[in-house]
Amino acid sequence: MSPSSKTGSAAPRGAGGGSRSGLLDLVRLFASFDIVAYHTGGALGDGSMFRLGIGMEIFLLMSGVSVGLHSGERPLRPFLAERARRYLTPFAFWWVVYAALLSFSALRHEQPAFSWFEPSMIWRGSYYHLWFMPVALGVCVAVEALRLASRNVPSRVFVAVVLLLSPLLFHAGPALRPHVSIGVYEWVWAIPAVPISVAFCRIIALPRTPRWPLAMLCFAGAVALSGLAVWYVDRDTFPLRFAVGAFLIGLGFAVSYPSNALLFRIRTMTAGIFLCHPLVIRGVLRFIEPLPIALIAAIIWVLAACLTLVLQRTRLARFAGAPPETAAPVARHKPSHAVSA
């Protein structure tokens, strides 16, 4: 969600020559705002707004789908090395930035500079949202491994197996939460994204017949119903968030909606917005706290977007988030949509 290659000013085109679905860009925009609003509410001690918090699930699924669509473009080792660079380079940079911020805050309160540090922060990040970067990288590696291991399995069989196992995958999070630490739970939380992402890629690679959008919607709807059923039993928002996220992504692929230069530009900024928005929250929240929470979240999102845009135009561009994928994915039947991590 710092382009290393030119992105251009126009929306990219899919492999089949058609324009990228703008609805996917809108879903990505919604996800980035949802994350900002969720963390803004947390900073204000108000959990009433966007309590669902599905932005992380949407970003995680999009990352997994992106791997499945683009993994055939280059040999495995360079591809995985490039993925590691996309996620770990921004992670390391912002780890240092937020560590410096926490140390400065500790010194202001006459505490030891590293009183905030815990050993798990080495891989989880120095701030509450950075854990997503290594977890997303792990999902990318797992998606590629599952894609290679299942390449001889017919698509219909693979998708059916994923749907049959989805209730178990969704139940794993609530069942294991009381028994694992938060650092382990973050990885358990990401497990459903792996098979669901590969199944999405299998459907995307099918021939684009008039029934193809219906097949995509049926799969996304079935995953959503599975998540809703587990949520109803467990009363845990873990499966519900994945259910809504998977349905929105399936809808984005199935429904044709033209993209434009503005949506494409925002898409290139969402990863940077995710990485820097806590910095904006700490910097400006006390000045705008009397405003309605929805307006506060909107202001913080816009300021984070501006900061990302500034970073993308400097030598720090590679730290402003993973660059978008502009190349068309390699697929047997050339899908007309593309999605970026």
Contact residues for 100 (Cβ-Cβ < 8 A; gap 6+): none
d(CA 225, CA 219): 10
On whether residue 18 sits in a domain, the answer given is no
Number of domains in the chain: 1
In a domain, 222, yes or no: yes
Paired tokens of 319:
């730290």
Q: Say which residues have a Cβ less than 8 Å from residue 105's Cβ, sequence separation at least 6.
A: none
Averaged over successive runs of 10 residues, the pLDDT of the chain (341 residues) comes to 39 41 89 92 69 84 87 75 90 95 92 90 92 94 92 94 94 84 87 95 90 93 93 86 93 87 88 95 90 92 95 87 43 43 47
For residue 75, the model assigns a pLDDT of 78
Q: Is residue 110 part of a domain?
A: yes
One DSSP character per residue, 188-217 reads HHHTTHHHHHHHHHHHHTS---TTHHHHHH
Domain range enclosing 232: 45-254
| 94 lies in some domain | yes
Specify if 52 maps to a domain. Answer: yes
Burial class (CB in 10 A: 0-12, 13-18, 19+), 333: middle
In a domain, 326, yes or no: no
Residue 301 lies in a domain: no
Query: In percent, how much of the chain has pLDDT > 90?
Result: 53
**Within a domain: residue 33?**
no
The length of the chain, given as a count of residues: 341
What are the strands, taking DSSP E only, across 85-208?
none
Task: Tell me the pTM.
Answer: 0.85
**21: helix, coil or strand?**
strand
CA 82, 87, 88, 93 torsion-angle sign: positive
State how far the Cα of 308 lies from the Cα of 244, in Å rounded to an integer.
Answer: 28
Q: What would the pLDDT profile of 20-31 be if each residue is shown by its tens digit?
A: 578 999 999 999
